[in-house]
Amino acid sequence: MKKFVKIVLIIVFIASVLGAGFYMYQTSTKDNEKYETTQAETKDISTKAVATGAVKPREVIEIKPNISGVISEIHVKEGQTVEKGALIATLKVIPNVANLNAAQQQINAAKITLNNEQIQFNRTKNLHDQGVLPKQDYDNAYASYKMAQQNLNEAQSNYKIAQTGIAPGLEQYATIQIRATISGMILSIPVEIGNTVQEINNFSVGTTIATMADVNQMIFEGNVDEADVGKLQEGMKLSITIGALPDETFEGILNYISPSGVDTSGIVQFEIKADVNLKQNIFLRANYSANAEIILSQAKNSIALESAHIRYDDKGKAYVEILKPGTEKYDNPVFQKTFVETGISDGVYTEIKNGLKKTDKVKVFNTDLEEPAKK
C-alpha cells in the first residue's frame, strides 16, 4: 500500500514539473503586445455647413403683352442678348366685332357733325366778310369747325386701333410690338408663331411671351438644415461648386437667411441666398444645380490629431496615451495617459490646444500588430 502511494506521488510530481515547464515555455514564446503610434500634424481645420440648391439670375423678368392677339413674328431666339427696348415679338390683333362697330359708328357721327359745322362756318364767314357779324362770331365758328375735324380724325384712329392695334403715326409705340423691358439675355420663349396670347390686366396674369434676365448678376439659392442655420450670419463667405463644372469653384457672399423654415420630409430647412462672384470666360447657365460650403469656424496652422486616437474618460475629459521616451526599445513599451485640451473638429482631425506636442508619439488604439511569421 505504501509503495502504491509513493508511485502516485511520484507521478503527480512529474506531471506538475512537466506542466510548469510547458507553461514557462508558452509564456517565453508568446508574442509581446505591441501598438502602432502616430504623431500630431500642423493643419488648417474648419467646420462647415453645406447647402444644396442652384445658381440663378438675381431677377427674372417675364415679358407680357398689354393687348390680346396672335403671335405673327418672333424676332429673337433663346440665348440671345438684347438691349432694353429691342423688339421681341409682333402681334396681330383679332378685332372685337363690338368694338369695331362702335368705332365705325363714332366715325359716322363725327362726319355728320363735321358737315354741319362746315355749313355753319361758311355761313358765318360770308356774313363776317360783309361786315354783318363781328370777328368773335367768326372765330367761334372756325374753332367749332376745326374741333369737328379733330373729332373725325380721332374716330378714324380709334377704328384703326380696334382693327389693327396700331394708331397711325405711333407705329413705333404700338402695343402689338412686344419689346424688352431690360437689357439682358433671352432665357426662354414659351410661345410660337400662331399662338394666341392674352393681355395682362386686373383679371388676367397674361401670357408670357419671353423670360429675360441679366446673367451677369447671378445668385446662389439653397437650403440648410436647422442644426446649422443658427450659426450663419449675413456676410459669411461661401465656396460654391457646380455639378456641370466640377473643376471650377466660385466664391459667394451670404446676403439672405430666411426667417421661416420649411418642413421637408421631417427635416426643417431654411432658404439662403448669396451673391456669386463670376469668372471671366465662364458662362453660368440659369438653374445650374450647385452646392455651397459655408465656413462656420476655422483654426489655421493648428496642432491636429486624428479624432480616432483621442479617448474620453467617464467625466468627458479628452486624453491620449503617449509613448514614454526610452521605452520604445522594450518588449513592453510604456504609454502614459495624458489629458489634452481639444478645439474644433472637422470629423477627421481635431484641434489640440494644449497637452500634446508634435514630437509626441501617440498610441493608436485597437491596432494590435502581429510580428511577421518566421520563415
Q: Which three cell numbers stand for residue 18?
A: 512537466
Concatenating the DSSP letter of every residue in 114-150 gives: HHHHHHHHHHHHHHHHTTSS-HHHHHHHHHHHHHHHH
More confident residue, 172 or 95: 95
In a domain, 5, yes or no: no
Which CATH number do you get for residue 114? 1.10.287.470
Per mean pLDDT, which range of 38-47, 49-58, 214-223, 233-242 is the poorest?
A: 38-47
pLDDT score of 373 more than 70: no
Choose between 52 and 127: higher pLDDT. 52
- Please check whether residue 284 lies inside any domain of the structure: yes
| Total tally of structural domains belonging to the chain | 4
> pLDDT tens, 144-169?
989 999 999 988 888 887 776 666 66
Confidence of residue 27 (pLDDT cuts 50, 70, 90): very low
Which CATH number fits the domain that encloses residue 188? Answer: 2.40.50.100
Same domain for 292 and 221:
yes
Domain endpoint, select from 278, 298, 318: 298
Residue labelled with grid coordinates 392677339: 69
Does the pTM of the predicted model rise above 0.85?
Answer: no
Same domain, 273 and 337: no
Q: Both 238 and 290 in a single domain?
A: yes
Q: Give a yes or no: residue 274 inside a domain.
A: yes
- Owning domain of residue 319: 37-44+300-363
Asked whether residue 25 carries a pLDDT value surpassing 90, the answer given is no
pLDDT reading at 8 higher than 60: no
What CATH number should be reported for the domain holding residue 221? 2.40.30.170
At 48 the pLDDT is 87
Is 209 within a domain? yes
65 and 209 part of one domain: yes
Residue 18: inside a domain = no
Q: Is residue 340 part of a domain?
A: yes
Same domain, 146 and 270: no
Classified as helix, coil or strand, 353 is strand
- CA-to-CA separations, 27 to 18, 33, 329, in angstroms, rounded: 14, 13, 20
**pLDDT score of 214:** 94
Domain assignment present for 4? no
Same domain, 122 and 251: no
% of the chain residues with pLDDT over 70: 85
Q: Do 179 and 89 reside in the same domain of the chain? A: yes
Residue 36 has pLDDT above 80, yes or no: yes
Give which of 249, 231, 238, 240 is closest to 296, Cα–Cα.
Answer: 231
Residue 102, SS3? helix
Q: Is the pLDDT of residue 374 over 50?
A: no
pLDDT tens digit sequence for 334-357: 888 899 999 888 888 999 999 898
Q: Could you tell me if residue 9 is inside a domain?
A: no
The pLDDT of 159-186, averaged and rounded, is: 77
Residues whose CB is less than 8 angstroms from the CB of residue 89 and which lie 6 or more positions away in sequence, other chains included: 71, 73, 74, 75, 76, 178, 191, 209, 210
Instruction: Give the per-residue pLDDT at 199.
Output: 83
pLDDT at 370: 44
Domain end marker among 298, 324, 340: 298
Q: What average pLDDT does this structure show over 364-373? A: 54
248 φ, ψ to 5°? -115, 145
Residue 186's beta-bridge partner residues? 212
Same domain, 219 and 294: yes
Claim to verify: residue 69 and residue 200 sit in the same structural domain: yes
Confidence of residue 12 (pLDDT cuts 50, 70, 90): low
Are 223 and 292 part of one and the same domain? Answer: yes
| Mean of per-residue pLDDT scores for the chain | 85
Q: How confident is the model at residue 375 (pLDDT cuts 50, 70, 90)?
A: very low
pLDDT grade, residue 289 (50/70/90)? very high
- Give 296-336 pLDDT, tens digit per residue: 888 888 898 999 889 999 888 999 989 888 787 777 788 88
Whether the pLDDT of residue 3 is over 90: the answer is no
Burial category of 212 from C-beta neighbours within 10 Å (exposed 0-12, middle 13-18, buried 19 and up): buried
Instruction: Verify that 222 and 294 share a domain, yes or no.
Output: yes
**Can you tell me which residue has the cell 409705340?**
173
276 and 321 co-located in one domain: no
The domain boundary, picked from 198, 213, 228, lies at 213
